[in-house]
């Protein structure tokens, strides 16, 4: 029974003299090798040189701060529940009076850990985040010698104000438009002159 028409009969015909002396075949191979001497090398000198990376590349996470330096994460747990690899764990704490400049919301993540060995870099955490706090960046996760070192805490995840990371390329036009809207708490920055509780008197 013939299943496909790609069947080929094996030929047992005798080799010609040209084939027997092998020289033409060797020359043909050498010509291919020699031609590569004049082609541009595809090798790059990493790490001095790096390949271009897509703006939406999904690498190591960052926990963003807002423009005043307050942490955006409120430990709502949406990223952890969205995470298919269950790589994210967190513990929340309550913001005390006087810490308004450190944390945006009345609750914040006291501990926030991502297990980089579990993480599959799918980006569902940044999609689930309601506070624009977690983003994946174009940075690569470093190599380590110990497994435990791959559990990244807040010391490695939270963005430093001296080296801020631009994530605007990862945000949809709708989000960028939304961020321009005035009057929304999400877009407000902390202002110490407008303390909570002033609106109590009617």
**What is the nearest approach in angstroms of another protein to the Cβ of residue 86?**
7
Quote the longest CA-to-CA distance of the chain: 107
Out of 56, 81, 120, 176, the residue judged to bind another protein by CB under 8 A: 81
Out of 57, 105, 138, 170, the residue judged to bind another protein by CB under 8 A: 105
- Per-residue binding letters, 4-43, with another protein (x by CB under 8 A): ----------------------------------------
**What is the nearest approach in angstroms of another protein to the Cβ of residue 11?**
55
SS (H, E, C) 50-107: CCCCCCCCCCCEEECECCCCCECCCCCCHHHHHCCCCCEEEEEEECCCCCCCCECCCE
Neighbour tally for 114: CB within 10 Å:
27
- Contact residues toward another protein (CB under 8 A) are 74-78, 80-81, 86, 92-94, 105-107, 130-131, 183, 185, 196-200, 202
């Amino acid at each position: 029974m013939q299943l496909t028409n790609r069947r080929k009969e094996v030929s047992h015909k005798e080799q010609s003299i040209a084939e027997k002396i092998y020289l033409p075949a060797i020359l043909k191979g050498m010509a291919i090798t020699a031609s590569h001497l004049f082609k541009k090398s595809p090798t790059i000198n990493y790490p001095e040189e790096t390949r271009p990376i897509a703006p939406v590349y999904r690498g190591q996470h960052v926990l963003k701060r807002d423009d005043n330096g307050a942490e955006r994460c409120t430990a709502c747990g949406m990223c952890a529940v969205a995470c298919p690899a269950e790589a994210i764990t967190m513990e929340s704490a309550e913001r005390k009076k006087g810490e308004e400049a450190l944390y945006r919301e009345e609750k914040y993540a006291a501990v926030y850990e991502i297990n980089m060995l579990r993480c599959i870099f799918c980006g569902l955490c940044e999609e689930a985040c309601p506070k624009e706090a977690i983003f994946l960046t174009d940075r690569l996760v470093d190599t380590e010698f110990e497994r435990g070192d791959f559990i990244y805490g807040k010391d490695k995840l939270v963005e430093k104000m001296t080296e801020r990371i631009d994530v605007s390329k990862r945000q949809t036009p709708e989000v960028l438009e939304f961020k321009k809207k005035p009057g929304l708490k999400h877009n407000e920055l902390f202002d110490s002159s407008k303390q909570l509780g002033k609106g109590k008197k009617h």
